[in-house]
A and B are shown apart, each in its own frame.
Chain A
Amino acid sequence: MSTAKRQSTVPAGPKPPVNFSSTVTIPKDAVLQGTHSITIQSETLIHPRARLDSNLGSILVGRRSIVQERAQIGVEPQNIDAAVPGGVSLGDYVVVEVNAVIEAGGTEIGDGSVVQVGSRIGSGAKIGKDCTIAARATVAPGTVLPDQTVVLSNGQQRADKRLADARKLSTLKQINVVRKMIRNDQDKFK
């Protein structure tokens, strides 16, 4: 009986040096690869099949952040010629939703920002605090967004005048619920 999942034939890359807080929740199905360091700070939640790639630079994920399924952090920029070397840094309370892509190259995402389903953040973009990148939106490489900006999928931008703290609260609630459902397996990556 070989009902085991088919293993990828591509040899796994080197194990990146990791630096986890003891309160991080990361399942064994998450994919961490690359050569630079990957730092994940306290109470952050990584979903299964999230992919963090530190081949081009180190990755920092702040406190109480969520990286959802099939989100890709630190991927190779689409336009490799214009890319600058560097990694990705996510602030605190950042939510990277399903299928979102964040390119490497000194990309920064400020505290409390949400990168929604299927969106793409270009290499070297600097996104401020409490921003929302709406579903399927694209942020061009090198863009600098001020705090509390909303980027819609048609490219329109607007200022968000909501109270940001309410969103942090819901992020926290989400972490508290989901961490009970995901089996933590930090040791696999160490």
Chain B
Amino acid sequence: MASSPPYTYIQCPCSNEEPAEGSDASSPESDSFHDAERTFDPRAPRSNYSLYPLEYLLYCEECQQIRCPRCVDEEIVTYYCPNCLFEVASSNLRSDGNRCTRNCYQCPICSGPVQVGEVQAEPETNLLSADNATAAPHGPYALFCQYCSWVSSEIGLEFERASGIPSQLAKMKNGGIPRITAKELKERRKEDPDMPPLEDELVDAELQYSALRSFYQSQINGPSNGLPGGLSLGDGHNFSSPAALTRMMSMWQPGGRGAQGKTAGPPDVFPEATDTDKGLKLAQLDESAKVQKLLNGGWNETVSKDQLLGQLEHAHFQDELRPLQCVLRTKRSRRCAVCRHIISKPENKVASTRFKIKLVAKSYIPSISIRPLEPRAPPVPVGMRPQQPQEPPLKPLQPYQYILTFKNPLFEKLKVTLATPNNTPGRFSSKVALLCPQFDIDPVKDMWEDALDGDDRSRTEETGQAEAGKIYKRGRNWVSIILEVIPPLLSVDSLRPHTASGEPTDRSPLREDEKILEIPMFVRMEWEPEAQHDVGDRVGKDRNEGQKRELAYWCVLGVGQISHE
């Protein structure tokens, strides 16, 4: 979220709320009083976690409060594959894992999506006759990465069919060697009981895992290895029964074991796997082949950390990497953590980017933009427009004026009251003055309506220049005011030896974030909501009338950098 100034961040009120159990009943009033009096410090370490740009914030209509990503609960609406946009049912997720089981693969080298294509066995020598080359070969298929030119045939992976890649890939190791599955091994053993166990090189992680799993499973279910007290680890439902719980409790009670008299049973020790069939795989300590490969291939042959993170098995070299199935993504809805109302809900359909419910803060609270009254940066040429003009650093002890523009998104007149501390918090405090801290913003209206209304609105209060107590400029649904700032001298020597409270000042060297001029500003807005049209009865209408609503929050204006030469 770090952006270059000028910027405006809004503090979510959730960071000020005390946890329910922590609030002391004896002095709630003094606490809240103290809280309201305290100036928000944008440089405090905690502020990092509560400041958001307006676009990140949501708004709960029930609580009438701003909600940030930290104070909403997320719920997953759908799982889908980002590559094929196919929705995956959550029941399938449990059995198949969180990866797409269709033909969606990612390049192991650059993580781009790969496509299935035919491997052309014999390139056509006569390039000139390209137009009529329409023979239909059904050669082997491979995965092609369009970005980094990786082909799965580089690592010996070629497929007979273009569809059903996952099942074909599961039977193949890199280099095209067929993979031995546990099932195959069992069948082979059945045919030839005297077959020696597999060599360690042939045992991959999956085979080892299934061997280990069956080995320990047989022990857990075995009759002789039950826990004392007749408990077995195998069936977990035993633990949930109250009887089993009592037995377990008595086992753990001091002296309980002796009283039960069941300590005589054998200790519950599992024998470890001792050969390949049980899942033992010795570490390969002979690395001379790898060293040789590293000498030949060099640095570019080895895998990078990012490449390794996606892999299921550990790999040292690029040719050991396998294509990755695409990881599924989710669409999520958001609920207010306080009142459990849904404040954002996307449409279920994967391809749709629309939302059923979306209560963004931008349509409830005014947007605040800040720009210098007299820009010192040259304007950005049209060709490079999205780029923001970069203002030069502010000179210390010189007054600067900025235009703050508030834009009202509501259909009601908004009364805004602003407050800033005269001196910003921190070691080097800037002097801040808001020339017009209280004003009204007109509601959003139709442009025609506005034009036909004429000039009955008093435009007299608008000055067009910086003047205390007056609005700088006013528009259809916006108001601009002037903010005056005097940046401090950024030198440790100029600090007074003692603070106001008598403590010695911190004379440590200038910290990085002290160069940035940030102004905390308290915004309080007040408006009268229109009577609800859908409420038919008079009582509801009466109740709504004359009822004022208000919202108050802290925000931070990032004004600019202070030069420190």
Contacts and interface: CB of A to CB of B under 8 A. Distances in A.
A152 interface: yes
Interface string A138-174: 0000000000001010001111111101101100110
Interface stretch (B123-131, B323-331, B343-351, B458-466): B123-131
Interface string B115-134: 00000100110010011010
B147 interface: yes
B155 to A, nearest CB: 10
B300 to A, nearest CB: 6
A158 B147 CA distance: 12
Nearest to A157: B300
Interface in B258-302: 300
B120 A152 contact: no
B359 to A, nearest CB: 38
A169 B130 contact: yes
Nearest to B304: A156
B154 interface: yes
A168 B127 contact: yes
A134 interface: yes
Interface in A20-71: none
B: contact size bracket: 10 to 19
B203 to A, nearest CB: 29
Interface in B159-196: none
B120 A176 contact: no
Given A165-B123, A176-B130, A135 B149 contact: no
Contacts of A134: 147-148
Most buried by A among B130, B131, B149: B149
Contacts of B151: 161-162
Interface string B347-360: 00000000000000
Chain A at the B interface: SS class: mixed
A169 B153 CA distance: 20
Contact of A158 (B120, B123, B153, B300): B300
B517 interface: no
Contact of B127 (A135, A157, A161, A169): A169
A132 interface: yes
Given A157-B300, A173-B130, A163 B123 contact: yes
B131 A169 contact: no
A172 B147 contact: no
Contacts of B147: 134-135, 152
Nearest to A167: B149
A172 B149 contact: no
Contact of B154 (A135, A161, A172, A173): A161
B37 to A, nearest CB: 51
B110 interface: yes
B157 to A, nearest CB: 13
A152 to B, nearest CB: 6
Contacts of A135: 147
A152 B148 contact: yes
B300 A163 contact: no
Nearest to A172: B130
A162 B300 contact: no
B122 to A, nearest CB: 9
A176 B128 CA distance: 10
Contacts of A168: 127
Nearest to B109: A158
B25 to A, nearest CB: 58
B278 to A, nearest CB: 40
B148 A150 contact: yes
Contact of A172 (B109, B110, B127): B127
A168 B133 CA distance: 14
B90 interface: no
A158 B131 CA distance: 32
Nearest to A116: B147
Contacts of B130: 169, 172-173, 176
Contact of A169 (B124, B149, B154): B124
B311 interface: no
Contact of B120 (A157, A159, A166): A166
A176 B133 CA distance: 14
Contact of B318 (A158, A166, A176): A158
Given A161-B154, A166-B123, A176 B131 contact: yes
Choose among A152, A157, A162, A176 the residue with the greatest number of B CB atoms under 10 Å from its CB: A162
B127 A158 contact: no
Contacts of A160: 149
Contacts of B133: 169
A143 to B, nearest CB: 14
A136 B148 CA distance: 12
B148 A163 contact: no
Nearest to B124: A169
Interface in A122-143: 132, 134-135
Contacts of B150: 158
A156 B305 CA distance: 13
Nearest to B142: A162
Nearest to B117: A166
9 contacts: A132-B149, A134-B147, A156-B300, A165-B123, A166-B123, A169-B124, A169-B130, A172-B127, A176-B130
The 4 closest A-B pairs by CB, nearest first: A165-B123, A160-B149, A161-B154, A150-B149
Given A132-B149, A166-B123, A172-B127, 7 more contacts: A132-B148, A134-B148, A158-B148, A158-B300, A165-B127, A169-B124, A169-B127
